Each structure stands twice: as C-alpha cells, then as structure tokens.
C-alpha cells in the first residue's frame, strides 16, 4: 500500500514538473519525424526529413522496424493508433492516482467487456492541471507486441503512443507506457533524470540560501561587533571631551579669578598710601573673607572712612573693640575688609 502511494505521488510529481515544459513529441521538428500509424491489419509509415515526405502503406507489423531502418537513420519513432485499434472506457469524473485507476480499470475490463486483462494493455492519457475525470484505454497485446518487437530488433526506440480521437491526438502518459511494455523503460530514465535535475536544482537553491543566510549572519555579527566597538570608542571620546570641557571651564574660572584678584604688592602699596603716618600695622593676614590687619593709631576710628574711600577695599569693619593700652599713645585696633576691583 505504501509503495503504491509513493509510486502515485512520484508519478503525480513528475507529471506536474513535466507539464511545465513542452512535451518531447511536440518538440520533434518536421525535418526529423517518423510516425508509425497502426491501422486495422497493417501499419503505415510516415517519414518526414530534409529530403521530403515519404509515406508507405500496408507494412506488416513484424516488418515495421526493418522498413524504417531502410528509409532513415533516425532511431526514434512514435506510434499512432487509429480509431478502432483501442477501446476507451470512462472510469470516474475525478482524477485518480495511477494505481487506483489501474485497479479499477482491470475490474471494469473483466466485468463489463468481453476482453481479458491478460490479453490487453491498459493505458491512461497524459494529464495536466486542467484535465478533469479519468478514462482508460485498452489495447490488444497481439496487435502491439509484434510492432514493438520489430522495433527492438531494428534497435529503434518508440518515444510515444498516441491515439486518434475526434478531438485530436491523445498521448499516453509516461507511467502508462513504462507499465505497458519494456520498450518504454527509457521514459522512466528520462523522468528520473528530469526529477533528479529538479531535486538537484532544489538542493542547490537550498544550499545557496543556507550559504547566503550564514554569510548574512556572519556579516551581521561582525557589523554588530564593530558597532559595539565604535560605540565604546565614541563613549570614551565623549568622556574625554566632557573632561576636557570641565578642565576648560575650570581654567576659565581660574583665569577669571586671577583677573579679578589683586596682587599683594598692590594691596600693601594701597595700605601704605592710605594709612596716615600716625597709624602702624603690626600684623597682616589674607583669607577667603578678605584682608585682616591689626596695629595702633592715634585715631583708630578715622581709619574706617579712609579705607572705604579706596576703590580697592570694601566693607571695612573693626574685628574687635578699639582699646587704648596703658603707657601707649595710640589705640589698638583690628580691621577686616574685602579686597576687590570695581
């Protein structure tokens, strides 16, 4: 059962593939054609070549091969069975697999016709996607065997069997021909070769797709690695740029502070210029809050207005109360002020 299913699937698949291409018989040119017409009691041979057409009537079945060999070097021919040389029987309105149709044809031939299945060849028409229904054709063995034997002796190859019908010529399927007679085994090899070529094409296409996928996958991984490395480098550059910007900002602040800062020499010179001769400085210190100095003066209170009047000093105040020390003429003071340029 499984073998029949596989065989049917194989026949269907080959038929679907070969239906995509012109049939061999349709590709035979007018300059290279030998047709054996199977008539009622004899055969007619139609030869078409470059030298012209040749038609011979009344050739005996067992002399067909020898006669063709005398006429041409062409080693291939096709058989055409005229009406009345076969029996056409309808089986089903559906397309049936070969094995199922063959079994039904054997039953129909035995039960509904006067012929025995051992005396008849059973064949089916070559179908395509547009073919509807199933019918079979029964051909007498004693009518076909002498012709095929004659072709074998002459080393000629029958390529096809066609049936003359009212609608035109009908070709038998390759599966039917191979099943009918060993003379058509080459059709099996052709079908197998075609299928092998199709399978090889599919395998090559699949291998190409797999190769392309892995190439794309590798390229994607390399690209992702390069992108990650570039991103890491970009982050490092960004970090360096941020640090550089911070350093530049810090330098700008330092430069600004430096530009606003007042040199000690200038502060000392300004104090020397402002303080009267009656004032002395005994201690001088610089801090974040500004300048702090202490000393003595005859009139310490008068020093605050003098210092505030300077453009270099601001907010001059006494740090501690002014005191007069016993035995001294001046007053002790301690003053804090801010230093800065306006």
Contact in structure between 320 and 295 (CB atoms under 8 Å): no
* pLDDT number for residue 285: 87
pLDDT band per the 50, 70, 90 thresholds, residue 66: very high
Position 52 pLDDT exceeds 80: no
**Do 174 and 78 share a domain, yes or no?**
yes
Residues 20 and 168 in one domain: yes
With a pLDDT cut of 90, the percent of the chain lying above it is 27
Verify that 62 and 168 share a domain, yes or no: yes
Asked if residue 151 and residue 19 are part of one domain, the reply reads yes
Taking alpha carbons only, the member of 73, 125, 65 closest to residue 95 is 125
Query: Is residue 207, in this structure, part of any structural domain at all?
Result: no
Q: Is the pLDDT of residue 247 over 50?
A: yes
Instruction: Identify the weakest region by mean pLDDT among 10-14, 161-165, 263-267.
Output: 10-14
* For residue 333, pLDDT beyond 70: yes
157-165 sheet: strands from edge to edge: 52-59, 43-49, 32-38, 76-81, 157-165, 168-171
Percent of the chain past pLDDT 70, that is, above it, reads: 85
Q: pLDDT confidence of 162, banded at 50, 70, 90?
A: very high
For residue 275, give the CATH number of its domain.
3.30.1360
Segment 266-309, tens digit of pLDDT: 888 888 888 888 888 888 888 777 889 898 888 888 888 888 88
- pLDDT at position 29 is 46
pLDDT at 4: 63
pLDDT in tens, 201-241: 888 888 888 888 888 888 889 999 999 999 999 999 999 99
The answer on pLDDT for 74 being more than 80 is yes
User: DSSP of 133-167, one letter per residue?
Assistant: SEEEEEEEHHHHHHHHHHHHHTT-EEEEEEEEETT
Domain tally, the chain: 2
Residues 174 and 282 in one domain: no
Name the average pLDDT for the chain. Answer: 83
Domain of 37? 2-180
Q: What is the pLDDT of residue 153?
A: 93
Q: Pick the last residue of a domain from 161, 180, 199.
A: 180
- What's the pLDDT at 24? 46
- DSSP letter assigned to residue 82: P
On whether the CB atoms of residues 275 and 303 are closer than 8 A, the answer is yes
Nearest to 35 by CA among 22, 44, 26, 27: 44
In a domain, 228, yes or no: no
Question: Among 180, 206, 241, where does a domain finish?
Answer: 180
Confirm whether 286 is domain-assigned: yes
| pLDDT for residue 8 is more than 70 | no
* pLDDT tops 60 at residue 146: yes
In a domain, 124, yes or no: yes
pLDDT classification of 132: cutoffs 50, 70, 90 = confident
H-assigned helices in the chain: 2-18, 24-27, 64-71, 98-112, 141-153, 174-180, 185-260, 264-274, 303-308
Asked whether residue 161 falls in the same domain as residue 23, the answer is yes
Checking if the pLDDT of 97 tops 70, the result is: yes
Q: 54-68, 137-151, 190-204: which has the minimum mean pLDDT? A: 190-204
For residue 198, is it within any domain?
A: no
What pLDDT shows up at residue 339?
83
Q: CB-based burial of residue 198 (10 Å sphere; 0-12 exposed, 13-18 middle, 19+ buried)?
A: middle
pLDDT at 25: 42
CATH of the domain at 66: 3.30.420.380
pLDDT (tens digit, 9 = 90+) per residue, 298-317?
888 888 888 888 888 888 89
78 lies in some domain: yes
In angstroms, rounded to a whole number, what is the distance separating the alpha carbons of residues 150 and 12? Answer: 32
In a domain, 254, yes or no: no
Do 174 and 291 fall into the same domain? no
pLDDT at residue 20 in the model:
56
pLDDT at 21 over 60: no
Do 155 and 24 belong together in one domain? Answer: yes
Please indicate, yes or no, whether residues 130 and 279 belong to a single structural domain of this protein.
Answer: no
Last residue in a domain, options 147, 163, 180: 180
């Amino acid at each position: 059962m499984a073998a029949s299913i596989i065989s049917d699937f194989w026949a269907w698949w080959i038929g679907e593939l070969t239906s995509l291409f012109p049939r061999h018989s349709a590709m035979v040119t007018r300059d290279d054609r030998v047709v054996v017409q199977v008539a009622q009691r004899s055969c007619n041979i139609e030869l078409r070549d470059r030298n012209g057409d040749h038609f011979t009537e009344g050739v005996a079945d067992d002399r067909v091969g020898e006669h063709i060999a005398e006429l041409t070097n062409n080693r291939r021919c096709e058989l055409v069975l005229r009406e009345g040389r076969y029996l056409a029987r309808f089986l089903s309105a559906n397309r049936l697999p070969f094995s199922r149709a063959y079994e039904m044809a054997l039953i129909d031939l035995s039960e509904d016709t006067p012929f025995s299945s051992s005396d008849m060849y059973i064949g089916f028409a070559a179908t395509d996607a547009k073919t509807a229904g199933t019918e079979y054709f029964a051909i007498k063995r004693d009518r076909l065997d002498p012709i095929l034997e004659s072709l074998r002796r002459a080393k000629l190859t029958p390529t096809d069997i066609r049936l003359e019908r009212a609608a035109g010529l009908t070709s038998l399927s390759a599966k039917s021909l191979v099943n009918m007679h060993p003379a058509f085994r080459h059709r099996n090899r052709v079908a197998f070769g075609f299928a092998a070529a199709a399978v090889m094409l599919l395998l090559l296409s699949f291998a190409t797709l797999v190769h392309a996928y892995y190439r794309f996958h590798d390229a994607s991984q390399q690209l992702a690695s390069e992108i990650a490395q570039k991103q890491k480098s970009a982050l490092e550059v960004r970090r360096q740029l941020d640090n550089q910007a911070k350093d530049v900002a810090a330098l700008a602040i330092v430069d600004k502070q430096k530009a606003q800062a007042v040199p000690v020499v200038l502060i000392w010179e300004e104090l020397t210029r402002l303080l009267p001769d009656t004032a002395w400085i005994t201690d001088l210190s610089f801090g974040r809050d500004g300048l702090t100095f202490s000393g003595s003066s005859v009139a310490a209170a008068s020093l605050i207005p003098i210092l505030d009047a300077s453009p270099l000093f601001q907010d001059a105040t006494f740090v501690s109360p002014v005191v007069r020390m016993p035995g001294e003429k001046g007053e002790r003071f301690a003053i804090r002020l801010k230093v800065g340029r306006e």
